[in-house]
Amino acid sequence: MGFSNDLADEATSGRAIVSVRDLVQHGFALPAQAQVLERVAQDFRLRITPEMLEAATSAGVARQFVPSADELLVRPEDMADPIGDDVHAPVPGLTHRYPDRAILHVTKTCEVYCRFCFRRETVGDTGHLPPDALDRALNHIAATPAIWEVILTGGDPLVLSPRRIADLLRRLEAIAHVQVVRLHTRVPVVAPQRINDALLAALDSRLAVWVVVHTNHADELTPNAAAALQRLVRAGIPLLSQSVLLRGVNDNVAALEDLFRALIRLRVKPYYLHHCDMARGAGHFRTTIAQGQALMAALRGRLSGTCLPTYVLDIPGGHGKVPIGPGYVQADGAAWVVTDPQGKQHTYTDPST
């Protein structure tokens, strides 16, 4: 299966912001800021969809997508591969960290490029996974009976055309031990027009297909986004959400409460609230673990369990994801001792100041 760049036409048509000049023209940056923002854009890809341009009148939305000079500050704790994708890659394009599931990086392309992304070193570089690499990844999955669930990510898997998505799902269906496919995506929120009849038909599979929507602020959930999520629900596709705790975006009780209530109203179960990863140049987004714990404690007194996600930490270096709470994360003076899923202990230190 050959993948072409399905975003090429939109990126060149001017409908999305893809350059610093676009930012200035749309009023998201001053001309005097252009030179420093060009330096940022050289390292970390820039793209904002029309849907998010309209929503970016909200500071909680704009901060996620509009580049900042703060991204040029690389802190001692920053990492190029903070969650260790490469550490657990048996073949290119596949991460096999846990026995029963694997992550298939079908593309490095996204509809938007988040300023805090933990894959910001690689997204947007080379488009979609080449056919030979895809074949090797699928062969590894087929040769590993323990893999019960395949997670499609990238990049964003829903930037692929419906035909390519359908073809990929058919190939996964042919692997008898694969029972579940999870798609991690921002598309229903940032490019809701892509959730059309052709895509819904492509997602109709013998596999249990779940969609996990990434959204961090209630103002991202525009009427168009709500309609796209409704189309997925009506097609019988179960929806979860994952969000990232971000300083200046949602690091207060009111913002998180609004987000989780809005998701539940749209029949999306809040699944994970991620502690912000140690991505290079994203330190200005990170809170401390103690701040995150205090927010979750306050939310528990205001929201039902249905609304509450699990607050999690991806242990830097590729050691796995754990809930931030007793048994996994314990204070040790100025640092934290984190126990990974294999029972090994690691030291985690909050952001430097």
Per the CB < 8 A criterion, the answer to whether 109 and 128 are in contact is: yes
| pLDDT greater than 80 at residue 14 | no
Which phi and psi angles does 269 have, rounded to 5°? Answer: -80, 120
The pLDDT assigned to 294 comes to: 95
The pLDDT assigned to 32 comes to: 96
Per the CB < 8 A criterion, the answer to whether 227 and 151 are in contact is: no
Cα separation, 212 vs 149, in Å, equals 14
| pLDDT greater than 70 at residue 101 | yes
CATH class of 8-348: alpha beta
Radius of gyration over alpha carbons of the chain, in Å? 20
Per the CB < 8 A criterion, the answer to whether 216 and 243 are in contact is: yes
Q: Which of 151, 149, 89, 77 is nearest to 122 (CA)?
A: 89
| pLDDT greater than 50 at residue 9 | no
The reported pTM is 0.90
| pLDDT greater than 70 at residue 103 | yes
- Give domain limits for the chain: 8-348
Give me the mean pLDDT over the 64-72 stretch: 96
Active site residues: 97-98, 101, 110, 114, 117, 119, 277, 314, 321
Strand order in the sheet with 335-339: 329-332, 335-339, 345-348
Q: What proportion of the chain, given as a percentage, has pLDDT over 70?
A: 95
For the four alpha carbons of 64, 257, 228 and 121, in that order, the dihedral sign comes to positive
The pLDDT assigned to 342 comes to: 83
| pLDDT greater than 60 at residue 249 | yes
| pLDDT greater than 60 at residue 353 | no
Q: How far apart are the first and last CA of the chain?
A: 48
| pLDDT greater than 90 at residue 288 | yes
Cα separation, 249 vs 230, in Å, equals 25
Cα separation, 275 vs 114, in Å, equals 15
Tell me the pLDDT band of 120, cut-offs 50, 70 and 90.
Answer: confident
The pLDDT assigned to 2 comes to: 35
Q: Omega of the bond prior to 301 within 30 degrees of 0, cis? A: no
| Angle 318-324-328 from CA coordinates, rounded to 5° | 70
Per the CB < 8 A criterion, the answer to whether 245 and 274 are in contact is: yes
